[in-house]
Amino acid sequence: MAAAWLGLLVLVAVAAPWLPLPYPPNVPDLAHVAQAPLSPGQHWLGTDAQGLDVLSLLVYGSRTAVFITFPAAVLAAMVGGVLGGAAGFWGNRVRAAAGYWLLALGAAWWFLRLPMFGLGLLMAAAGVARLLWRPRRGAAYSTSVPLDAAVMGVATALDTIPHLVLVLAIAAGTGGVSALGLLAILAFTAWSTPARLVRAQMRRTRALPFTEAAQAAGIPAWQIWLKHAMPHAISPLRAALPLSLARLLGLESTLSFLGVGLPPEVASWGRLMASFRYDTSAWWVFVFPITILTFSMLSLHFLSSAPRRQAAR
């Protein structure tokens, strides 16, 4: 049932431009403003306080929900999986040569746009030179990288700030966001949970006999990580992805409800719900999107607990 509902939602989202909707979602019908469902005219689910067709807004809102939250959740899972997997596998023991440190410093200099741009460039160049002309003999001047501490530190720092506040601050600081920008922001705030899950699983996987056997066989560490350990470590994401999707769906709707999410011409369930404030007698602009949102979130929660239920049987 949950899968069927979500499947229908995805189908509607993908097929939205080809559906025979009587009105486009962002063209106001000024002759029928705040019209109730099934009133004369072709607005089957009514119109909002701006004369926008509720049915079209729901259909295109599902498109926004699917095409923003799904890629954001997948991106967050990928980023979190890679970072958490690396942190769990290598911990704080991996050593990096001085050249890599210099290169990383130069890149950070450029990324943070620090003053004296030339100095950052010089560092990066020195790092590259050091890596290309490594001394064949003598000390390699390498230092351990606190990879685990860094990943978990950033994830903890990210979790200490409420995500809604963080996203609001980013959106306000950038003066509004595009659909792609919102996707990036949502992904940025959501990677910490997958990272923690994969890291924990990776620490268990690393201690398993097949990993030790692979190390004993002389297989390079990165190959063991990628080909043998990661497929096991990412298994918790199967259950976590639907939950992440539900959370991002809620966050996107909240942002649109607050009017800081997407541009005004992009349909969104959250914005449709917000339009209830402009005409509190228009119950249909609230009831329809909240029902769809609730069904979608319940379905995602149900899907996330499916593996647990299967295991219990």
Partner 1 sequence: MRIRWARDPETLDPLFAPNLAAFDANNLLHVSLLQGDIATQQLAPALAEQLPTVQLVGDSLTRLQYRIRPAATWDNGRAVLASDVDFTLKLMLCPGLPNEAARNQYSFIRAVLPHPQDPRRFTLLCRGQSLEFAQASGDFFILPEHSLDPRGLLRRWSLADLQRQPLPLPADSGARAVAQQYLAAVASRSSNRLSGCGPYELLKWEKDRFLSFRRKPRWWGSRLQPAPLVLQARPQQLEYVIIPDVATAALALQRGDVDVFPQMPAREFARLRAAPAARSALRFYTSPSYDVATAGFNTRHPALADALTRRALSRCFDAAGLLRATQLGEGQRTVGIISPADRANYNDSLAPVPFAPDSAVALLRRAGWQRRSAPHEGWFRSTGRGADQQLRLLVRYRAEEVLFGTVALQFQAAAASIGVPVTLRPTEPGTFATAMRSGDFDVYLRVLRGNPFMFNFTQLLHSASANNVTKFGTPASDRLIAAIARADNPARRTALLRQFQALLQAEAPIVPLFYLPNRVAANRALTGLHVGSLRPGFAAATIERVAQPAP
Task: Show contacts with partner 1 in window 41-60 (CB under 8 A).
Answer: 49-52
Interacting residue with partner 1 among 117, 141, 222, 278 (CB under 8 A): 278
Which residue type sits at 274? A
Verify binding: residue 222, partner 1, rule CB under 8 A: no
Interacting residue with partner 1 among 4, 31, 216, 217 (CB under 8 A): 31
CA distance 184 to 30: 35
Interacting residue with partner 1 among 10, 21, 28, 70 (CB under 8 A): 28
Cβ atoms of residues 25 and 56 within 8 Å: yes
Verify binding: residue 264, partner 1, rule CB under 8 A: yes
Verify binding: residue 33, partner 1, rule CB under 8 A: yes
CA distance 31 to 41: 10
Cβ atoms of residues 24 and 265 within 8 Å: no
Instruction: Supply φ then ψ for residue 117, to 5 degrees.
Output: -55, -35
Verify binding: residue 27, partner 1, rule CB under 8 A: yes
Instruction: Supply φ then ψ for residue 229, to 5 degrees.
Output: -85, -45
Instruction: Report residue 259 as tokens.
Output: 């009017």
Interacting residue with partner 1 among 1, 4, 18, 30 (CB under 8 A): 30
CB proximity list for 244: less than 8 A, separation 6 or greater: 73, 76, 77, 190, 193, 194
Interacting residue with partner 1 among 184, 279, 290, 301 (CB under 8 A): 279
CA distance 120 to 122: 5
Instruction: Supply φ then ψ for residue 137, to 5 degrees.
Output: -125, 165
Nearer to partner 1, 192 or 275 (CB): 275
Closest distance between partner 1 and the C-beta of residue 37, in Å? Answer: 18
Interacting residue with partner 1 among 259, 283, 291, 307 (CB under 8 A): 259
Verify binding: residue 173, partner 1, rule CB under 8 A: no
Closest distance between partner 1 and the C-beta of residue 182, in Å? Answer: 15
Nearer to partner 1, 178 or 294 (CB): 178
Verify binding: residue 26, partner 1, rule CB under 8 A: yes
Verify binding: residue 283, partner 1, rule CB under 8 A: no
Interacting residue with partner 1 among 175, 216, 218, 311 (CB under 8 A): 175
Place of tokens 């939950």: 243
Helix (H) or strand (E) holding 234: none
Verify binding: residue 40, partner 1, rule CB under 8 A: no
Instruction: Supply φ then ψ for residue 102, to 5 degrees.
Output: -65, -40
CA distance 195 to 223: 20
CA distance 234 to 228: 11
Q: Residue count at the site for partner 1 (CB under 8 A)?
A: 24
Verify binding: residue 96, partner 1, rule CB under 8 A: no
Kindly list the residues in this chain that would bind partner 1 in the complex (CB under 8 A): 24, 26-28, 30-31, 33-34, 49-52, 175-176, 259, 263-265, 276-281
